[in-house]
C-alpha cells in the first residue's frame, strides 16, 4: 500500500500541470483510474492503451501530438525505458504490476513496498482525489479487490449493492447493479476507436450512476444503449462458452471475432460460475490466439512462464489472472502443457 506521502506527491503532480495526457489500460481499473484523475483536474486528454500492454517509444509521439505538459501512465503493466527517454515531459507511472526498474520516471507501485500487494490503480487514484466514490468502488471490485471504503459506499449507494446483502467481491461483481456498471464500463472500451473515444468523453461528464442505469439524461442513454447492443453479442458468446463445459479441471473456450474482445469478461464470469476450474478464453485474430487465463486456486504466472518455453508467444499478469498470446500453430501444445500443469 502506498503512503499518504506518496498520494500527496501524486496530487502535487496533478495540481501542477495544465494539459496532461493520461495513458491507461483498456480494462475497468484503467478506465476508472483515468476518470478519477481527469474529473478531479478537468484538464487534459485520455488515451487508452489497447495493444500488448507495454508503452514503447512510438507512444511518446502522442505526447507531442496533444501538446501535453505531463504524462500519467495508469495501470499499464510495462513501460519501456525508450518511452520514458523519448518523452520530453515528466512521466508519472501509477501501477500495480511488476515492479520494474526504470530511470527518470516517478514510479508509484505498492509492490515496491509489498511484493504481493494487489491494490488496484483505481484505489490509489481515489486516495489522491477523494471524490467520485462510485467510480472508485466500481474500478476496485472490477479488479477483484475489496476496498476499505466499501462501508462508506454501501451507506451512500445501498441500491448498488447485492440485493441479498452479500458483500463478497463475486456477489458484487456478478449479482448487483454495481456489477452491471462494471460491465457497462468494460463494454465502453470495446469496438472501434471512434466509439471508444466517444464513450470515454461522455463518461467524463456523467454525474451519477443512476444517470446511466436509469437512462436519466442523453449522456446516460448513449452509454446504456451502447452497452445493450454489445451485451447481446456478449451473452451469445457466453452461452457458447457454457455449452462447451466438461467435467474436468480446465475449461478452454476459443472464438473468432475481428471487432470485439470479450476474453477478460468471459474468463471472469466463467471462473465465477465454475470456481474450481482453471479457465482459458482465447480469441483468434490474425495468426494468434489472444487469451485471458483465470484460476481461484492455482498461481498462474510460474505455470505460464514454463508453458510458453520454446513457443512463439508471451504472457503475464497477476497471481490468479493473466493474459497470454501465442501463435495459432502453437496453441494446442500450449493448452496441452497447461492441462498437464493443472491436473
Q: How many CB atoms lie within 10 A of CB 177?
A: 17
On whether both 279 and 138 belong to a single domain, the answer is no
pLDDT at 50: 82
Q: Is 144 a domain residue?
A: yes
In b/e form, how buried is each residue of 208-230, taking b as 16+ CB within 10 angstroms?
ebbbbbeeebebbebbbebbeeb
Domain that holds residue 257: 244-342
On whether both 59 and 122 belong to a single domain, the answer is yes
pLDDT at 52: 64
Count, in order, helices (H) and strands (E) of the chain. Answer: 15, 12
On whether both 254 and 208 belong to a single domain, the answer is no
Angle subtended by helix axes 177-188 and 263-273, to nearest 10: 150
Helix (H) / strand (E) element for 281: namely: strand 278-285
Angle subtended by helix axes 218-243 and 263-273, to nearest 10: 60
Q: Is 28 a domain residue?
A: yes
On whether both 205 and 261 belong to a single domain, the answer is no
Mean pLDDT by 10 residues, the chain (343 residues): 96 98 96 98 95 83 97 95 97 95 97 93 98 98 96 96 89 96 97 94 97 98 98 95 87 88 94 94 93 94 95 90 94 96 87
Q: Is 227 a domain residue?
A: no
On whether both 204 and 252 belong to a single domain, the answer is no
Q: What gap in Å lies between CA 122 and CA 95, rounded to an integer?
A: 9
On whether both 82 and 143 belong to a single domain, the answer is yes
CA atoms within 13 A on the CB side of 200: 28
On whether both 79 and 214 belong to a single domain, the answer is yes
Amino acid at each position: 500500500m502506498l503512503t499518504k506521502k506518496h498520494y500527496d506527491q501524486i496530487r502535487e503532480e496533478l495540481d501542477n500541470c495544465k494539459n496532461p495526457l493520461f495513458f491507461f489500460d483498456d480494462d475497468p481499473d484503467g478506465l476508472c483510474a483515468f476518470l478519477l484523475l481527469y474529473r478531479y483536474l478537468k484538464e487534459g486528454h485520455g488515451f487508452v492503451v489497447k495493444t500488448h500492454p507495454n508503452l514503447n517509444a512510438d507512444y511518446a509521439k502522442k505526447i507531442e501530438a496533444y501538446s501535453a505538459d505531463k504524462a500519467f501512465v495508469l495501470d499499464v503493466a510495462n513501460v519501456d525505458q525508450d518511452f520514458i527517454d523519448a518523452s520530453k515531459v515528466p512521466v508519472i507511472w501509477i501501477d500495480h504490476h511488476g515492479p520494474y526498474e526504470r530511470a527518470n520516471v516517478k514510479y508509484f507501485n505498492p509492490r515496491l513496498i509489498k511484493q504481493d500487494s494487489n491494490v488496484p490503480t483505481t484505489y490509489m487514484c481515489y486516495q489522491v482525489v477523494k471524490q467520485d466514490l462510485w467510480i472508485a468502488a466500481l474500478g476496485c471490485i472490477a479488479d477483484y479487490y475489496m476496498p476499505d471504503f466499501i462501508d462508506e459506499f454501501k451507506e451512500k449507494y445501498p441500491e448498488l449493492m447485492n440485493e441479498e446483502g452479500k458483500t463478497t467481491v463475486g456477489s458484487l461483481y456478478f449479482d448487483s447493479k454495481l456489477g452491471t456498471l462494471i460491465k457497462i464500463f468494460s463494454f465502453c472500451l470495446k469496438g472501434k476507436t471512434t466509439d471508444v473515444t466517444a464513450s470515454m468523453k461522455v463518461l467524463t461528464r456523467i454525474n451519477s450512476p443512476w444517470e446511466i442505469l436509469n437512462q436519466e439524461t442523453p449522456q446516460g442513454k448513449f452509454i446504456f444503449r451502447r452497452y445493450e447492443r454489445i451485451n447481446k453479442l456478449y451473452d451469445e458468446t457466453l452461452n457458447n462458452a457454457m455449452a462447451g463445459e466438461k467435467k474436468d479441471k480446465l475449461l478452454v473456450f476459443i472464438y473468432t471475432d475481428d471487432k470485439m474482445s470479450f476474453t477478460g469478461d468471459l474468463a471472469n464470469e466463467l471462473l465465477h460460475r465454475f470456481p474450481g476450474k482453471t479457465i482459458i478464453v482465447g480469441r483468434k485474430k490474425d495468426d494468434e490466439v489472444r487469451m485471458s487465463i483465470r484460476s481461484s486456486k492455482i498461481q498462474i504466472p510460474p505455470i505460464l512462464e514454463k508453458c510458453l518455453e520454446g513457443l512463439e508467444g508471451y504472457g503475464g499478469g497477476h497471481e490468479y489472472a493473466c493474459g497470454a498470446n501465442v501463435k495459432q500453430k502453437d496453441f494446442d501444445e500450449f493448452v496441452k502443457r497447461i492441462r498437464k500443469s493443472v491436473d
